[in-house]
Amino acid sequence: MANPAPASTTGGFTISQHRLDNGLRVVLSEDHLTPVAAVCLWYDVGSRHEVAGRTGLAHLFEHLMFQGSAQVPGNGHFELVQGAGGSLNGTTSFERTNYFETLPAHQLELALWLEADRMGSLLTALDQTSLDNQRDVVKNERRQRYDNVPYGTSFEHLVALAFPEGHPYHHTPIGSMADLDAATLEDVQAFFRTYYAPNNAVLSVVGDIDPERTLAWIEKYFGSIPAHDGKPEPRDGSVPPGALTGEQRLHLVEDVPARALMAAYRLPADGTREADAADLALTVLGSGESSRLYNRLVRRDRTAVTAGFGLLRLAGAPSLGWLDVKTSGEAGTDEVEAAVAEELARFAAEGPTPEELERAQAQIEREWLDRLDTVSGRADELCRYAVLFGDPELVPTAVGRVLEVTAEEVREVAARYLVPDNRAVLTYEPAGGAGAESDESDDAGDEDSDVADAAATDAAESDAAATDAATAEGGAA
């Protein structure tokens, strides 16, 4: 064991950090409120690490991690965890792949052993049959959650418009059918050796644990897994000046229930004060039925059945502000777009009222505290801050930084970024022409690789939709 860090107590819970000799970073948080424990393992690999011709490999490999390892054949990982009263899954996004279990605290050792076994020995069980099987599962997932769902490919289209060709975020984690077909056994073996190494991972354990005993188990099961130093640096995710000239637009005529206006605005990267200001701006403008866009389009103008605006936070590239409006009756997207432009211009000029800012900050604070209140949510956030920002101890103070943002900062970020030249726009027209019946239900289209289950959602879930569309979930498939 190398480089143990003393435990610190911040924001009401304890965090201790450790690093094994093979480079595995470990974050522990002791919480005896309920007799459960959560294990979360983040690998620093996502779709942004993929190369042309091999998109979807990170998500495909996430599925393969549930197909057996040296000592756990077949579907044994699910059977053992669920048989012990636990739950589990994995997801893939642009920036990481994660695996997680929540189970009774006395079964913690089982989860650690299982994660270590597949990190250290997956290649001994990986064969052409497993690859072919999971390739078909992923392709079917793409059909069910993207290709054959109304608006299902909207996020994919907008990402491709928002980031230029060759950009590491130009494609989504689900990948293309052609690239999935082209993936070979040698490709996935090389992918595992490159990215599934202890020095490219963070392991967090949260809940009713004994930190000393937990650390001993981690050393016992993970300590002998060798490190790998061949990981290439991720490509630059910035969008240089001139890479995109002005507004990017696409109009689609498809079998959808209603006309739709969607847009993706390039916003500040996650981890910055500007990103927090942008989150507050989009919350005021488009989160929930009290938001400005909902009040204008749904309640006042009656030109839409849903209107939402949410933030997909990205650390390695500009974050995306995701606008999603489904029209009502005979209303056209031009009419809706003009009303949206009016509201954005008014907000850029005036900013939020004190009441709106207070309400938005309270909403974000509540959502954040709800997430940290569960052992699984806290474990995931500790991994996120360790992988993306290098410091899990930023977690307890994150919401405080949002509460410090001023109304003028919110106005400034809106005025700078929520402009036509900084966005990609996608519009839909029903193939049957005007008069197709609108539907207020959530529209699927996921992105945290087992595919975020809603690339287009209702007003109250707009930011969740973008996050889902950027995340694919493969384990349970």
pLDDT (tens digit per residue) in 341-379:
999 999 999 999 999 999 999 999 999 999 999 999 999
pLDDT at position 244 is 79
Average pLDDT, the chain: 90
The candidate with the shortest Cα–Cα distance to 126, out of 180, 191, 177, 78, is 191
Q: Output the pLDDT for position 268.
A: 97
pLDDT at 384: 98
CA–CA separation, 249 and 244 (whole Å): 12
Beta bridge partners, 36, equal 104
Measured CA to CA, the distance from residue 403 to residue 280 in angstroms comes to: 10
pLDDT confidence bin for 242, thresholds 50/70/90:
confident
Summarised one tens digit per residue, pLDDT across range 31-55 is: 999 999 999 999 999 999 998 899 9
Q: Residue 424 pLDDT > 50, yes or no? A: yes
pLDDT of residue 7: 60
Question: What is the rounded distance in angstroms from the CA atom of residue 382 to the CA atom of residue 395?
Answer: 7
- At residue 404, the pLDDT reads 98
**Averaged over 332-346, what is the pLDDT?**
98
Report DSSP letters for 256-289, one per residue.
-SS-EEEEEEEEPPTTSHHHHHHHHHHHHHHSST
Using 50, 70 and 90 to split pLDDT, how confident is the model at 474? low
**pLDDT number for residue 2:** 53
Q: Are 33 and 13 in contact (CB under 8 A)?
A: no
- Cα separation, 216 vs 99, in Å, equals 21
Name the band, by pLDDT with cuts 50, 70 and 90, for residue 432: confident
Q: Return the pLDDT at 443.
A: 36
Most confident segment among 183-192, 207-216, 239-248:
207-216
- Quote the pLDDT of residue 240: 82
pLDDT for 316 equals: 97
pLDDT at residue 457, rounded to an integer: 35
Determine the angle formed by the axes of helices 354-372 and 375-389, rounding to 10 degrees: 110
Most confident of 7-21, 289-303, 420-434, 456-470: 289-303
Residue 8 is predicted with a pLDDT of 58
Nearest to 188, CA basis, from 125, 146, 141, 139: 125
The pLDDT of residue 59 is above 50: yes
Distance CA 435, CA 426 (A): 20
Q: How confident is the model at residue 455 (pLDDT cuts 50, 70, 90)?
A: very low
9 vs 198, higher pLDDT: 198
DSSP state of 73: B
pLDDT given for residue 9 in this prediction: 55
Whether 466 and 282 have beta carbons less than 8 Å apart is answered as no
The tokens describing 102, both together, are 């929540």
**Calpha distance 152→155 (Å, rounded):** 7
What domains can be seen in the chain, in order of their start residue? 8-222 (3.30.830.10), 248-473 (3.30.830.10)
Supply the DSSP symbol for 124: H
Determine the average pLDDT of the residues in 337-343: 98
Confidence of residue 158 (pLDDT cuts 50, 70, 90): very high
Determine the Cα angle at 216 with ends 211 and 220, to 5°. 150
CA torsion, points 336, 339, 345, 349, in degrees to nearest 10? -140
Cα–Cα dist 303/21, whole Å? 60
Biggest CA pair distance of the chain: 66
Q: Which pLDDT belongs to residue 123?
A: 92
Give pLDDT, residue 230: 85
Q: Grade residue 160 by pLDDT with cuts at 50, 70 and 90.
A: very high
Encoded amino acid at 253, one letter: V
SS3 state at 25: strand
Q: What is the pLDDT of residue 91?
A: 97
**How far apart, in whole angstroms, are the C-alpha atoms of residue 314 and residue 321?**
11
Distance of CA 54 to the CA centre of its chain: 20
Confidence at residue 241, expressed as pLDDT on a 0 to 100 scale: 77
Q: Which residues contact 388 (CB under 8 A, 6 or more apart)?
A: 95, 96, 270, 271, 315, 316
Residue 10 confidence (pLDDT): 56
The CA dihedral of 175, 419, 368, 382, to the nearest 10 degrees, is 50
